[in-house]
Structures are given as C-alpha cells and as structure tokens.
Structure 1
Amino acid sequence: MSKEARVGAIARAVQELQDATDQIDELAARRLGINRTDLRCLSRLTARGSLTASELAAAAGLTGGAATTAIDRLERAGLARRIRDESDRRRVLVHLTDRAHEVGEQIWGPIVTDASAELHRFTTAELDVIERFLHRALDNQTRHADRLRSQGPHR
C-alpha cells in the first residue's frame, strides 16, 4: 500500500472511531438522562478532577453561563455537587458524586478494559508512535475548534 493510501486509510479509521465514540456518547447521555453538553462537563470533571465553574467552562469550551446551567443539571441528576473549597472558602468546586463514579464505571469501565488489553498487544516503540499521533491529533482538533469558535456562527 502506498503512503498516500495508508494516510487515507488511517484518516477513514479515525473518522470511524470518532463516529463510534459519538454514538457511545449519545447512548451514555441518554442512559444518564443528561444532554451532550452535560456529558462533556462530566468527562472534563472525570479527567481533571474537581474544578471551579470557570475552570470547567474553559475545559469544556463553554461560556460561564452555559457551564453554570450544565452544573445545575448535573446536580439535579445526582452526578455532581458544588462544595466550598476548604483551603480557600471563596472558591466553590464542582465535584463528581459517588453515583457519577459508579455509572461511569458501568458505562466506560468495560471500554477502558478492552482498550487497555488492545494497547498491551503493541510494543513500546509502537505505543510511542500511537501516543505521538494522538497528541498531534489532539493539538490539531484543539487548534481547529479555536478557529471555528473565533469565526462565530455561519450565516
């Protein structure tokens, strides 16, 4: 297979992976009784730990108001709670609840287990390449999300 054909095959595989991930996210949001924005906030809290509302807004690419609304919905769903920071009483942190951790494990635990088993099949050198590709792909996606955000809505 030529290099161009290999690049095309990888690009198609990445698109298929993104679509499959999107499908999992949709099903997970439905199961949790939340919307996709709320799920994105849940994901950021899972990945980064407790955050202030403004930190969560930045991490999820939301305005402050949209993040506050999402946090309110996550609290009503029993997935997050606001707790005053004990080291700085002026700060309020958004924490995941035990329920969020439990349902997260039910939904994503098997996916993580299977993915980990697959990754263990690669050599260390292959894992280095995969990790480098994923970092570059993330940088690319982040850069283009910023570009699209700065352009505003299409008219």
Structure 2
Amino acid sequence: MQTGREGPLGEILEALRRYGTDSTRLAHAFSARNGLQAADLQALVAVMGAERSGEPLTPGALRQHLGLSSAGTSYVIDRLERAGHVRRVREHPTDSRVVHLRYTEEGMATGVAFFGPLGDRTQDVLSGFSPQEVEVVARFLTAIADTVHEHVQELTGDG
C-alpha cells in the first residue's frame, strides 16, 4: 500500500521541500549580496509583480502584503530607495496624496544580474517538456502556490 510518500507523489513532495528551502537560501544570498534584509526582497518582488500587472503598489498595500507595521514598511521602502531599487512616485491623476512604489532601472538590472542565470536554467529545463506538459506544470504550480498562500493567510490571520 502506498502511503503518499512513495513513488511520484513522494518525489513531488520532496522536490517542493527542497525548492522551499533553496528559495529561502536564494533570497538570503540576494539580500546579503545587495545589503538588504529578507523583507526587502519580498517587498521588491511584490513591487515588481504589481507593476507588471498594471496595478502599482501603495505603501499601505505593501504593508498588508508584508504583514509589517507602518513604520516597519517605511523602513523597508527607505532601504530599497537608498539602494536605488524602488522610488516613491505621486502620479495619481486626481489625488496627489496617493503614493505608488515603482522599481527602478537599477533595481531591475540588479535583479536580472542575480536571477538571470536561474531564469536561463529554468528555460533550459522547460525546453525539455512539450507545450502540453508545460501547461500541466503551470496549472500544478499555480495551484500549489495558491494553496500555500491560503495556508499562510490562515496561519497569520490574514485570511
């Protein structure tokens, strides 16, 4: 009888554990190399993701995302600004009080220099799969990411 920890299911669970551990180590390496804190990288990724989606983050939305106090979030944004990774902008068409966080060209270049080789390796891995397999992998990873996100929200009371 299979316990759920053997065969392909066990391999998937072990790979997800390894991925989680190594992702944390990668984040710490990026932060250390760039004089940042772990929360700074989380913030930078959130700012970049929001901008890619066409909905730039406000400091308040970043605070909620990070689960920090207003002061803690301000410290993160200040560090990222000093490092040249993000900038605060007032670009709302009718309300000049609204502040958005935008990543800078320097911030993008730093991220590409550090994470680019991993992106290239990921592309190499994906090139070994058919388009149909890539669709299954994308569906699986999205479902896992959503599940982990929901679980974290439940644990932290943000759900």
Q: Please, what TM-score do these two structures have when normalized by structure 2? A: 0.85
Matched, 1:126 2:137: no
**CA shift digits 1:110-149 (9 cap, x unpaired):** 1112101211221122112111111110121111101110
Deviation at 1:96, TM superposition (A): 1.1
Q: What is the percent sequence identity of the aligned residues? A: 27
Aligned counterpart, 1:42: 44
**61 and 119 in structure 1: CA distance in 2 versus 1, 3 angstrom threshold:** farther
Distance 1:135 1:3, change over 3 A: farther
Contact 1:81 1:95 in 2 (8 A): yes
Q: How does 1:14-25 map to 2 (within 5 A)?
A: 14-25=16-27
> Unpaired segments of 5 or more residues in structure 1?
none
CA distance in 2, matches of 1:15, 1:51: 30
Secondary structure of the residue that 2:109 maps to in structure 1? helix
- In structure 2, give the amino acid aligned to 1:79: H
1:85 deviates by 1.2
* TM-fit CA distance, 1:74: 1.0
Structure 2 contact 91–99 (Cα < 8 Å) conserved: yes
One-letter identity of the residue aligned with 1:119: L
Tell me the equivalent position of 2:81: 75
Corresponding position of 1:147: 154
Equivalent pairs, count: 150
Q: What one-letter code is carried by the residue in structure 1 that aligns with 2:71?
A: G
